[in-house]
A and B are shown apart, each in its own frame.
Chain A
Amino acid sequence: MTHPAIAAYGLRKSYGDKTVLDGVDLTVPEGTIFSLLGPNGAGKTTAVKILSTLVTADAGDIRVGGHDLATDPQAVRAAIGVTGQFSAVDGLITGEENMLLMADLHHLSRREGRRVATELLERFDLTDAARKPASTYSGGMKRRLDIAMTLVGGPRIIFLDEPTTGLDPRSRHNMWQIIRELVAGGVTVFLTTQYLEEADELADRIAVLHGGRIAAEGTAEELKRMIPGGHVRLRFTDPAVYRTAVSALREAAYDDETLTVQIPSDGSQRDLRSVLDRLDAAGIEADELTVHTPDLDDVFFALTGSAAVPDQADQADRTDQTEETTVR
């Protein structure tokens, strides 16, 4: 029977008065990508630090790679590889020396170490820079070296704490490709990110961390289904036209104050055409038409309801209510 790669129950951690993690449960099946999503300061990095044995939790049962983290941290360490948020390379020595250092610490033979180092430097496109001090590398190169070093011991579980933060779009896409290849090889990846797009793109399962707790967990699709769906929004300036529209579009949600009508829609071309056909048939001409497809941003804002975006959260609530009334 296979056990999950990472299983944590009731994870708690506070620094002084500040509770960072307040009872977090996580399960990550082997060979999958799990993404912990949250705004800055949500506790993502703390979670990674605890799961990777860097700091001790105040409470919680944690098993990583089948080993109890509290009683056998060395066994956990032997199973994992960690690439933290801040570059974990030795800037004073060259990229190649960094790789050989890792090989030595994994107790590979000299020949095996050289082979692995050369292979990984090649794979991460660092061969040309291998003999330069790592401190002279660009951000993207450092990140690649960082991951290459993490892979030296062939870890089965890899923690990546915001691996693409600060990378340009091309480097980010390269990193995504690297992560996909890792998982294709059967590795389990625990990824934190503040980019919803990234979680959507990569993760098999996503957990949204907010206020030290998991606010929601599921696949990207499941999370998107948790909030009101996509719609076409029509805005009117003339109340008379608005009323015509409301009576013509029976299944729509409407808002008398702002004179807007929302028609459920998946945003596809076919669906959009049928909406437009119905509007034409009813002789309705809206002053403004926008297509809204739900994305993880909506989920994120709805769940975390942070002060920065109160409108969006409010609106989601309101739409919810109006929808219920029309369904009845």
Chain B
Amino acid sequence: MSNLALALRDSSTMLRRNLLHARRYPSLTLNLLLTPVMLLLLFVYVFGDAMSAGIGGGDRSDYIAYIVPGLLLMTIGSTTIGTAVSVANDMTEGIIARFRTMAIHRGSVLVGHVVGSVVQSILSVVLVGAVGVAIGFRSADATALEWLAAFGLLVLFTLALTWIAVGMGLVSPNAEAASNNAMPLIFLPLISSAFVPVDSMPGWFQPVAEYQPFTPAIETLRGLLLGTGIGHNGWLAVVWSLALTALGYLWATAKFNNDPK
């Protein structure tokens, strides 16, 4: 069997294993899914009036339109914490040592985790999106191409965060540490343009909020779905995604190829 065929076959085996885990034990993913849904309902129905005033007038439905793209990306950040936790958990299992002593494609263990996590994240995004639609989110005449681009952006961004989360899971000795180490993935959306516009933040803080990975991705998604201006955020989002994917991939594979303790 050629190297590529071996890699594909073993990776798809590992993906099946990963999805089997997720299907048998969905509680972790569902718990993580709860955070963005709760935040969505909280910000719309509890803080909604104040928040819509904060984005420059309008009513609650304006704020729903504003917040949903941000929360879709926050959902990705949130579910990738689950990736870090499940990778850290997996690495404490004896079965990983067994995989390492088998003549399989080495990277397949991580690829299985990554692809499985991306699938779970995208399903989560669809679920949170459905809640958004249920409470009144509507896109402003997005074309099929724009929907496709939005989907592509979400997948690319998920891939980036997932590889980073896999790296975090590999350097964490246990699930608790992984969950702590992965905190930035849920914290960064809070200091992005997800809930309030960047220009409403203190001046010294604006560059941090504006150029961190979440804001360009959120602004691009808003642009694609709501017709707001995208500007330089489009390529910033793509560059961030590609850079984080490459970084996470190199980091994770280097860690995984080290001798286990």
Which residues of A approach B to under 8 Å, CB–CB? 52-56, 74-75, 77-78, 80, 82, 84, 86-93, 97, 101, 104-107, 133, 146, 149-150, 153
Task: State how many angstroms separate the Cβ of A41 from the closest Cβ of chain B.
Answer: 16
B143 part of interface (Cβ distance < 8 Å): no
Task: State how many angstroms separate the Cβ of A244 from the closest Cβ of chain B.
Answer: 63
Task: State how many angstroms separate the Cβ of B30 from the closest Cβ of chain A.
Answer: 16
B24 part of interface (Cβ distance < 8 Å): yes
B97 part of interface (Cβ distance < 8 Å): yes
In the complex, the answer to whether B24 meets A54 with C-beta atoms within 8 Å is no
Stretch touching chain A among B13-21, B179-187, B209-217, B230-238:
B13-21
Other-chain contact of B17, A77, A90, A91 (Cβ < 8 Å): A90
Contact A107:B1 (CB < 8 A) given known A93-B20, A97-B20:
yes
Stretch touching chain A among B31-39, B98-106, B134-142:
B98-106
Question: Hey, which chain B residues are within 8 Å of A153, CB to CB?
Answer: 102
* Shortest 4 CB-CB contacts between residues of A and residues of B: A88-B94, A78-B103, A88-B98, A77-B103
In the complex, the answer to whether A74 meets B103 with C-beta atoms within 8 Å is yes
Other-chain contact of A53, B1, B13, B95, B100 (Cβ < 8 Å): B100
Contact A84:B100 (CB < 8 A) given known A56-B259, A91-B93, A101-B17:
no
Task: State how many angstroms separate the Cβ of A46 from the closest Cβ of chain B.
Answer: 11
Task: State how many angstroms separate the Cβ of B50 from the closest Cβ of chain A.
Answer: 44
Task: State how many angstroms separate the Cβ of B24 from the closest Cβ of chain A.
Answer: 6
Question: Hey, which chain B residues are within 8 Å of A92, CB to CB?
Answer: 20-21, 24-25
Task: State how many angstroms separate the Cβ of B236 from the closest Cβ of chain A.
Answer: 39
Question: Hey, which chain A residues are within 8 Å of B9, CB to CB?
Answer: 104, 107
Report Cα–Cα, A101/B16, bound state, in Å. Answer: 9
B260 part of interface (Cβ distance < 8 Å): yes
In the complex, the answer to whether B13 meets A101 with C-beta atoms within 8 Å is yes
In the complex, the answer to whether A105 meets B10 with C-beta atoms within 8 Å is yes
Task: State how many angstroms separate the Cβ of B32 from the closest Cβ of chain A.
Answer: 18
Question: Hey, which chain A residues are within 8 Å of B95, CB to CB?
Answer: 88-90
A-B pairs under 8 A by CB, number: 65
B interface majority secondary structure:
helix
Question: Hey, which chain A residues are within 8 Å of B103, CB to CB?
Answer: 74-75, 77-78
In the complex, the answer to whether A90 meets B93 with C-beta atoms within 8 Å is yes
Which residues of B approach A to under 8 Å, CB–CB? 1, 9-10, 13, 16-17, 20-21, 24-25, 93-95, 97-104, 259-260
In the complex, the answer to whether B1 meets A105 with C-beta atoms within 8 Å is no
Question: Hey, which chain A residues are within 8 Å of B100, CB to CB?
Answer: 53-54
Q: Can you pick out 26 interface pairs between chain A and chain B where the beta carbons lie within 8 Å of each other?
A: A54-B97, A54-B100, A55-B259, A78-B103, A80-B101, A82-B98, A84-B98, A88-B95, A88-B97, A88-B98, A89-B94, A89-B95, A90-B93, A90-B95, A91-B93, A92-B24, A93-B20, A97-B20, A101-B13, A101-B17, A104-B9, A104-B16, A105-B99, A107-B1, A149-B98, A153-B102
- CB-nearest residue of chain A relative to B9? A107
Report Cα–Cα, A84/B99, bound state, in Å. Answer: 12
Question: Hey, which chain B residues are within 8 Å of A80, CB to CB?
Answer: 101
Report Cα–Cα, A1/B25, bound state, in Å. Answer: 53
Question: Hey, which chain B residues are within 8 Å of A82, CB to CB?
Answer: 97-98, 101
Task: Known pairs A84-B97, A92-B21, A106-B102; list 16 more (Cβ under 8 Å).
Answer: A52-B101, A55-B259, A75-B103, A77-B103, A82-B101, A84-B98, A87-B94, A88-B93, A88-B94, A89-B95, A92-B20, A104-B9, A105-B10, A105-B13, A107-B9, A146-B94
Report Cα–Cα, A149/B102, bound state, in Å. Answer: 11
Other-chain contact of B101, A53, A87, A89, A97 (Cβ < 8 Å): A53
Task: State how many angstroms separate the Cβ of A104 from the closest Cβ of chain B.
Answer: 4
Task: State how many angstroms separate the Cβ of B101 from the closest Cβ of chain A.
Answer: 4
Question: Hey, which chain A residues are within 8 Å of B99, CB to CB?
Answer: 105
In the complex, the answer to whether B94 meets A77 with C-beta atoms within 8 Å is no
Most central of B17, B20, B101, B104 by chain A CB within 10 Å: B101
Question: Hey, which chain B residues are within 8 Å of A89, CB to CB?
Answer: 94-95
In the complex, the answer to whether A105 meets B260 with C-beta atoms within 8 Å is no
Report Cα–Cα, A270/B99, bound state, in Å. Answer: 56
Other-chain contact of B104, A54, A97, A105 (Cβ < 8 Å): A105
- CB-nearest residue of chain B relative to A77? B103
Question: Hey, which chain B residues are within 8 Å of A107, CB to CB?
Answer: 1, 9
- CB-nearest residue of chain A relative to B95? A90
Report Cα–Cα, A53/B102, bound state, in Å. Answer: 9
Question: Hey, which chain A residues are within 8 Å of B16, CB to CB?
Answer: 104
In the complex, the answer to whether B13 meets A86 with C-beta atoms within 8 Å is no
Report Cα–Cα, A87/B98, bound state, in Å. Answer: 10
Task: State how many angstroms separate the Cβ of B190 from the closest Cβ of chain A.
Answer: 32
Question: Hey, which chain A residues are within 8 Å of B20, CB to CB?
Answer: 92-93, 97
Report Cα–Cα, A150/B102, bound state, in Å. Answer: 10
Report Cα–Cα, A149/B9, bound state, in Å. Answer: 19
Report Cα–Cα, A90/B89, bound state, in Å. Answer: 11
- CB-nearest residue of chain A relative to B5? A107
Question: Hey, which chain A residues are within 8 Å of B13, CB to CB?
Answer: 101, 104-105
Question: Hey, which chain A residues are within 8 Å of B102, CB to CB?
Answer: 77, 105-106, 153
In the complex, the answer to whether A77 meets B98 with C-beta atoms within 8 Å is no
- CB-nearest residue of chain B relative to A133? B24
- CB-nearest residue of chain B relative to A90? B95
Report Cα–Cα, A145/B87, bound state, in Å. Answer: 23
